[in-house]
């Protein structure tokens, strides 16, 4: 199976503190990877390393290209409506297909009634769902999601997980980093645990 990213003996140190040590892993085409860990365990750092947002202190990462990383830090187009934020990132398609895809996605994420609202008019949870939606329409071989469930209620957590599973089935490799152990337990794919800078495959 084709390897999209290979990490060899990654170490990451900041201000004299070792946050990741001797991490090696491979991410394959069509993988669904769940990296679990408590806050501050190093999972977000690993996402940033694998997506080339940060550089390791030691070790090497091999990849064909840089892949997108979702996190709460990503921005929205604040002067565009909810539906315009999604349409902006859609691959090229005719107007009818684009409208249909946006409508179906917004309905599935309980955002359809807000389709003509600006991001500033959304609740914190709705803003997060919109950010996730903008990543779900990307045509990428691999997408990283750092804490996609944080701050969502149980219904929306499971809705997001279902959409990520659906995205994976359509051919996109998914890598989730999460501190929400309960949500991902129902889904049996490749599971890793990061603890005290070490990573264990479960």
Q: Which helix (H) or strand (E) holds 173?
A: strand 173-178
CA distance 23 to 85: 36
pLDDT of residue 202: 84
User: How do residues 73-130 score in pLDDT, each as one tens digit?
Assistant: 999 999 999 999 999 988 776 676 788 899 999 999 999 999 999 999 999 999 999 9
Confidence (pTM): 0.94
DSSP state of 16: T
- Collect all residues with Cβ–Cβ distance below 8 Å to 33 and sequence separation of at least 6: 27, 173, 174, 175, 176, 189, 190, 192
Q: Which CATH architecture describes the domain 38-55+66-188?
A: 3-Layer(aba) Sandwich (3.40)
User: How do residues 26-77 score in pLDDT, each as one tens digit?
Assistant: 999 999 999 999 988 899 999 999 999 999 999 999 998 999 999 999 999 9
CA distance 102 to 90: 9
Instruction: Tell me the average pLDDT across 8-19.
Output: 94
- DSSP alpha helix (H) spans, the chain: 43-50, 82-87, 95-108, 124-136, 154-169, 181-184
- What is the band of 188 on the pLDDT scale with cuts at 50, 70, 90? low
Six token digits for residue 40? 């501050």
CB 127 within 8 A of CB 153: no
């Amino acid at each position: 199976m084709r390897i999209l990213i290979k990490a060899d003996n990654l170490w990451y140190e900041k201000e004299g503190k070792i946050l990741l040590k001797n991490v090696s892993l491979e991410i394959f085409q069509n993988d669904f990877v769940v990296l679990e860990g408590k806050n501050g365990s190093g999972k977000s750092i690993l996402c940033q390393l694998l997506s080339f947002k940060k550089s390791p202190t030691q070790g090497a990462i091999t990849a064909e290209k840089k892949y997108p990383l979702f996190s709460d830090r990503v921005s929205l187009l604040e002067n565009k409506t909810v539906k315009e934020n999604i349409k902006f990132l859609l691959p090229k398609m005719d107007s009818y297909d684009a409208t249909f895809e946006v409508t179906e996605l917004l309905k599935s994420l309980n955002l359809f009634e807000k389709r003509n609202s600006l991001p500033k008019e959304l609740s914190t949870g709705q803003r997060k769902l919109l950010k996730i939606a903008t990543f779900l329409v990307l045509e990428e071989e691999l997408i990283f999601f750092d804490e996609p469930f944080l701050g969502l209620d149980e219904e929306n957590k499971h809705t997001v997980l279902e959409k990520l599973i659906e995205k994976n089935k359509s051919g996109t490799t998914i890598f989730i980093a999460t501190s929400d152990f309960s949500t991902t337990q129902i889904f049996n794919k490749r599971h890793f645990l990061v603890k005290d800078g070490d990573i264990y495959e479960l």
